[in-house]
Amino acid sequence: MDILKEIAESLERGEDDRVAGLVRQALEERCAPLDILNRGLIAGMDVVGEQFRKREIFLPDVLIAARGMNAGLDLLKPLLAQEGVPSSGRIVLGSVRGDLHDIGKNLVAIMLKGAGFDVLDLGTDVPAQRFVDAAQEHGATVIGLSALLTTTMPVMKEVVDLVRARGLTGRVKVIVGGAPVSEVWAREIGADAHGYDAANAVERVRALVAAGA
Amino acid sequence: MRQRFAWTAAESLPLRAEVLRLQGVPVEADLSPRIGALLEAALAAYLETAQPRAVFGGISREEFRSVYRGEGRNAPETPLETVLAGAEQLALFVATVGGVVTTRIRGLFGRNEPALGAMLDSVASAAADRLTVLLGARSLGTEGAAGANGTRVLAYSPGYCGWHVSGQRALFASLEPGEIGVSLNSSCLMEPLKSVSGVLVAGPAGIHSFAPAYPFCPECRDKPCRARIASLSQS
């Protein structure tokens, strides 16, 4: 079987322990790192994401696959960097100031990485200015904000306002998410998108990037 | 009377079905061996790391109304106001499974073990909720959640059902749960994260039932009130 197909299918089957070995084998067989990424790892994770959206598999299955994806990605990253291969897009992500919850944000980060995005995770309790500074410094086109408390949601508006104040509107887009956050809230504060769960957040980020964020 | 409780990690271990529900795995789903193994590993990690404890103090209805008003940011109408009218006993509580489990969860994510990290997170969340059931049983002086004459205890928490999360400040000021290692940050977030707080309301089962028809209900995605109300019909 084509080694790239085998990588993709290993991810789909949740054989996370095999993925890094298969990536190594593909490199030894002189497959291009970008092909391994796109036709192996991302192709496999796309199928996993689709199965998750259709509720054929569940969150733990996705995370088991993500473990394999990350192990493979660790091997490819330095090679991709050497070849100057751009990622699908660079995203700055974090839980807003005052919020220490990180599981939801971590899941989004994992799934974005699985979709080929370069994710800069700022962690938790992140002030508005730091999000925007990091986006500018690292050339990110999307800022992802997570909040699990109604008391911390106003920080999301601070970020949106700061993006506007620095003249970055259109170049840097903001997506918001978290249990109390809604589409209505996203519109109210002028955010560009709302992700209602980790899989949806990936779809929305893809759309933002495709739209020229 | 103010009391402090501690349990063993095993006593607070949640039902497997509840953990899987939090992971989005339906009850009727065939559990794959991999997910089954993950669940067992997460339960084992919880048993190693959890330090469940709580502080609990009875409060009169009038005193509680003052705590409940908090900073005046509650929804104009809330189910708890109606529930209170039929309450026989009230007690404020703060409970936690401790901070070590959160450290373990973060470590698992850092070591590229997201599936186990997320599963342990769900175990700890379900366990923290289970502490309210254990507290309810203790407050009734029974082993189960139902007392004599059909009295039932349910917990209501700031941040849910129209009780604004800023109400945590008044609750913490009244109960002072520092002795069990739980504190509140400026956003009203409890640390350690896997902690729960609120008021335990004891009364006839019927007082706890309400329809999810309040103006804030459409924005509540999970509607945890439904499962709690459904639990009243179980013995």
Phi, psi at B94, each rounded to 5° = -135, 130
- Give the pLDDT confidence of B175-232 residue by residue, as tens digits: 999 999 999 998 899 999 999 999 999 999 899 999 989 998 887 877 888 888 888 7
Of A187, A205, A209, the closest CA to residue A197 belongs to: A205
| Cβ pair B187:A101 closer than 8 A | no
Which residue's entry shows tokens 């109408």? B77
DSSP labels, A58-119: -HHHHHHHHHHHHHHHHHHHHHHHHTT---S-EEEEEEBTT----HHHHHHHHHHHHTT-EE
What are the residue ranges spanned by the domains of chain B?
A: 2-231
Of B123, B124, B46, B139, the closest CA to residue B91 belongs to: B139
CA dihedral A101, A106, A111, A112 (to 10 degrees): 100
CA atoms within 13 A on the CB side of B69: 5
What are the residue ranges spanned by the domains of chain A?
A: 3-82, 90-210
- Give the pLDDT confidence of A108-164 residue by residue, as tens digits: 999 998 888 999 999 999 999 999 999 999 999 999 999 998 889 999 999 999 999
A-chain residues within 8 Å CB-CB of B43? none
Q: Please provide the CATH number assigned to the domain covering A3-82.
A: 1.10.1240.10
B-chain residues within 8 Å CB-CB of A66? 114-115
pTM score of the predicted model: 0.89
Query: What number of C-beta contacts closer than 8 Å exist between A and B?
Result: 83
pLDDT along chain B (235 residues), means of 10: 93 95 89 92 98 95 95 94 92 97 94 94 96 86 61 91 94 95 93 96 91 88 82 71
A154 Cα distance to chain centroid: 23
Burial of B230 per CB tally in 10 Å (0-12, 13-18, 19+)? exposed
Which of A45, A54, A58, A183 is best to mutate for the B interface (most B CBs within 10 A)? A58
Q: Please provide the CATH number assigned to the domain covering A90-210.
A: 3.40.50.280
Classified by CATH at the fold level, domain B2-231 comes out as NADH Oxidase (3.40.109)
Phi, psi at A151, each rounded to 5° = -70, -20
ipTM: 0.85
pLDDT at A1 over 80: no
Q: Are B12 and B127 in contact (CB under 8 A)?
A: yes
Angle at which helices B114-140 and A103-114 cross, to 10°: 160
| Cβ pair B159:A149 closer than 8 A | yes
B-chain residues within 8 Å CB-CB of A186? none
Question: CA-CA distance, B67 to B70, in Å (whole number)?
Answer: 5
